[in-house]
Structure 1
Amino acid sequence: MAGKIPQKLINRINELSKKKKSIGLTKEELIEQKSLREDYLAAFRATFRSNVEMLQVFNKEGNEVTPEKVKEIQRKKGLRDD
């Protein structure tokens, strides 16, 4: 589940969270909540990783100082030609 996190997923997580605080969840809902949270975290991590891999860092003088590890990943993905 790479990319943007579906609003439907976030809405359901929030619904279950509110219900848990008010009247509690059934066993099935607790299992669903755990699964949804895992899906959310996987999507968040994939998006975060993608953002970091696209990152370029420049110092005050305007020189690129992107970490070499990030540059290597960018080269492997065809995002750099240096």
Structure 2
Amino acid sequence: MILMDKDEEKKVIDRINFLFHKKEEQGLTEEEEAERKELHKKFIANFRAGFKQQLEDLVIIDKNGKDVTSEKAKRAQRRKGLRKD
């Protein structure tokens, strides 16, 4: 998944919030409810992709200066060209 840029993410969040408040005040049409569900899925997928990217890019160094990053993260970093070892 390609991450949303900040502007697109803000638009999605604003629309989700609008639909939430409308649902609380007067209810949603079937089309709006379907839109709300799709936007929510899109937001969650974007959040997960961003979180996964952060974890894969994380390098852990112990107090002695030794790289103790997990092998799974190291493999992901090598695939991205972030590690030379």
User: Normalising by the residue count of structure 1, what TM-score does the alignment of the two structures yield?
Assistant: 0.91
The structure whose RCO (Cα within 8 Å, separation 6+) is larger is 1
Superposition misfits of 4+ residues, deviation over 3 angstroms: none
5+ long unaligned stretches in structure 1: none
What is the RMSD of the two structures over their aligned residues, measured on CA atoms? 1.3
Counterparts in 2 of 1:17 and 1:3: CA distance versus 1, 3 Å: same
Q: Deviations over 1:9-51 (max 9, x none)?
A: 1000000011111111111100000000011011111111111
Partner of 2:26: 23
Q: Report the secondary structure of 1:17's partner residue.
A: helix
Structure 2 length as normaliser, TM-score? 0.88
**1:74: which partner in 2?**
77
Structure 2 portions without partners, runs of 5+: none
Distance 1:62 1:78 in 2: 22
Number of aligned residue pairs: give it: 82
**Kindly, what percent of the aligned residue pairs are identical?**
45
